[in-house]
Amino acid sequence: MVVQRTLKSLTRAVGVGVHSGQKVELTLRPAPADTGIVFRRTDLALPVEIPVTPQSVTDTRMATTISRLDDPQGPKVQTIEHLLSACAGLGLDNLYVDITAEEVPILDGSAASFVFLLQSAGIELQKAPKRFLRVKKAVEVREGEGPTLKWARLAPFDGYTLAFEIEFHHPALDATGQRMVFDFGSGRYKRDIARARTFGFTKDVELMRSRGLGLGGSMDNVIVIDDYRVLNAEGLRYDDEFVKHKILDAMGDMHVAGKPLIGAYTAFKGGHALNNQLLRKLLADASAYEVVTFENSADAPAGLAELAPAW
């Protein structure tokens, strides 16, 4: 049987929020089967639990932010996508995330540090079937027209692939790969995707900071780009790091569903808002998906049952 996974022990990290600039301590703890991923704001007088669901997403400006369903204007947790991407890459279903501020630490700007933390704690197999969300019918969301067109789509596929295309019309980005297809079942998430960092433009810094965003950003956690080039002394980690980071984000945003996907994700110039709209549209149509389990791992799509072996 393909089973659910959690951590063997707890693990901690300290960092800053890329948007809030606040120092934050993160503690990742094992959770029972069927818990899902639950954030706990432990800095509040009365700790607040915020389960991760598509409906709990309340803001998608520059990051994915969640709040409680019964209190959408109340306590929140920002920038969850990199941690969720690491959870997806390692096949983690159940996790408690204790956090001492409202934003997950950015660490190095990728998912690699979260992968290291999760692997250090060890991954435990649980005595409960792993539930997959299988796409049965194509769903799509679109925004804009002509040069402003953006879209994202989920379609049936016996496995899990993510395809993304970027278009920035910028010399530094145009010189790199603009499109990538990643096969989730390849087992190469850690090598090919996890180290891709978030990126930002110097021309946007003043506007972002006037809106209370990007206050913790630096060249230690962001690829910084001026009008012509990448400013980070070490350059890029991948020749196509920009589009790979978009795939990293999309994996995290899709993991908000609470179950790993079986299907094909494709996006053109998409982002957090379209990703959340796409999941909500899928789940709003009962004929577009089904929840499946696999008694025999051989019956699961190639690579998905063997993904991220337990340590």
Catalytic residues: 272
Residue whose structure tokens are 């901690």? 12
* Residue closest to 185 by CA, chosen among 107, 119, 133, 263: 263
* Residue closest to 265 by CA, chosen among 276, 249, 254, 252: 254
Distance CA 232, CA 219 (A): 6
In Å, how far are 3, 31, 89, 209, 212 from 126, measured between CA atoms? Answer: 6, 10, 17, 44, 41
Count the helix, strand and coil residues of the chain and give each as a percent rounded to the nearest 5: 25, 30, 45
Are the beta carbons of 87 and 260 closer than 8 angstroms? no
Segment holding 272, helix H or strand E: helix 272-284
* Residue closest to 193 by CA, chosen among 272, 86, 120: 86
Residues 6+ apart with CB under 8 A from 235: none
